[in-house]
Structure 1
Amino acid sequence: MSAAIRRLGPDDWQAFRDLRLAGLRREPDNFGAFHEEEADRPEAFWRDWTERATVVGAFGESDALLGLAGIYLLPGRRMRHKAQLFGMYVAEPARGQGLGRRLCEAAIAAAKALPGVTQVQAVVWIENRPACALYRSLGFLQWGLEPCGTRAADGTCCDNARLTLRFD
């Protein structure tokens, strides 16, 4: 499958919202938010994300959004050298074709282009083996394990791996 990777803009808010909500609904344990928390957010919330963060998307034929990954700069002068990878998701029909890797590479390239950024951080549910393997293959190193970093919808704990990819 050929897909174009590009940065989302404010006019892509509806496709961004729809795919993000689909990911939250289908794989709730892989995200730090619940579907219910974001489903009723206004248009301005979604537009704002595309303006204050770099959100890249994989667009297939007929301009359908197939995957997402985002980067935002951590706030504060002491943290500006770090960017956070967030929202990585590829729709199930588009998996197994390298889109996740291409999205991560585009997000990492966006982070490298930010002035002063020397590393990208990521948090991943330790049981999400495909994501863990992808991040390792991109050079991320696990520096910590957060017990019960997030809670699943049923209240059970999900341990999270803390990862970093350094550029310097």
Structure 2
Amino acid sequence: MDHRIERIGPGDWERMREVRLAQLLDTPMAFMETYETALGHDEDEWRSRVERVSAAGSVGFAAVAADGRWVGTMISLTPEPEEALLVGVWVEPAYRGRGLGVTDGLLDAVLGWAREEAGARRLVLRVHEDNPRATAFYRRRGFAFTGRSEPYELDPSSLLVEMALPLG
């Protein structure tokens, strides 16, 4: 399955909306909003999201299939000096798996940005405690649990656990 990694730009609001709705249907626990909430957002909200992703101090990458569809995303921002936060991670089920390289390609793009453009010394993420596939991927790529966690906003009885990767 051919794909390429592209930086998300200001004109990508429609594809951002399309992939976000797919994300929420596929893995609702991985995101901080419901499908119903996202479905109700107007064009201005989607444009605003894409503008935030392409503003200074943040970046978004999309894995783009040969037919032009977005089949994965990773977004990073810098809420703290020298620290990048990874959010908005998702890959379409048909494009998952180590052999396809989509998730690795997206993470490589984020890591390059975090080191070279953001000047981050570490990349941090929060993953739902009931998402072992994502946790296994991050561990394979060198992330480790920090010992920090927080209640998941949509279900406070479950946790988001923090993982971090030093960028040396």
Query: TM-score, normalising length from structure 2?
Result: 0.86
The residue aligned with 1:124 is 127
Pairwise mapping of residues 134-149 of structure 1 onto structure 2 (< 5 A)? 134-146=137-149, 148-149=151-152
How far apart are residue 159 of structure 1 and its match? Answer: 1.8
Gaps of 5+ in 2: 54-58
Instruction: Name stretches of at least 5 consecutive residues in structure 1 with no aligned partner.
Output: none
Contact 2:81-2:120 within 8 A present in 1 as well: yes
Structure 1 residue identity aligned to 2:138: Y
* 2:73 maps to which of 68, 93, 115: 68
Alpha-carbon contact 1:142-1:163 (below 8 Å) kept? yes
CA positional deviation for 1:19? 0.8
Match in the other structure for 1:102: 105
How far the C-alpha of 1:71 sits from its partner, in A, is 0.6
Question: Counterpart of 2:22?
Answer: 22
1:145-164 pair list within 5 angstroms:
145-146=148-149, 148-152=151-155, 157-164=157-164
Deviation (angstroms), 1:147: 5.5
Q: Deviations over 1:132-157 (max 9, x none)?
A: 011111111110242533434xxx72
State the match for 2:60 in structure 1: 55
Secondary structure of the residue that 2:142 maps to in structure 1? coil
Cα distance per residue 1:20-52 (max 9 Å; x no partner): 111112211111222222222232333333333
Q: What whole-Å deviation, never above 9, does each CA across 1:62-86 have from its counterpart, x for those lacking one?
A: 1111111101111xxxx22111100
- Give the 3-state SS of the residue equivalent to 2:12 in structure 1: helix
Contact 1:15 1:65 in 2 (8 A): yes
Aligned residue in 2 for 1:86: 87
Paired AA for residue 88 in structure 1:
V
**Aligned equivalents of 1:50, 1:166: Cα separation in 2:** 27
For these two proteins, the number of residue pairs brought into alignment is 161
Deviations 1:92-116 (A, max 9, x none): 2222222112111211211112343
Deviation at 1:4, TM superposition (A): 0.5
Which deviates further from its counterpart, 142-151 or 61-70? Answer: 142-151
Computed over aligned residues only, the root mean square deviation of the Cα atoms, in angstroms, reads: 1.8
Q: Which residue of 2 aligns with 1:167?
A: 167
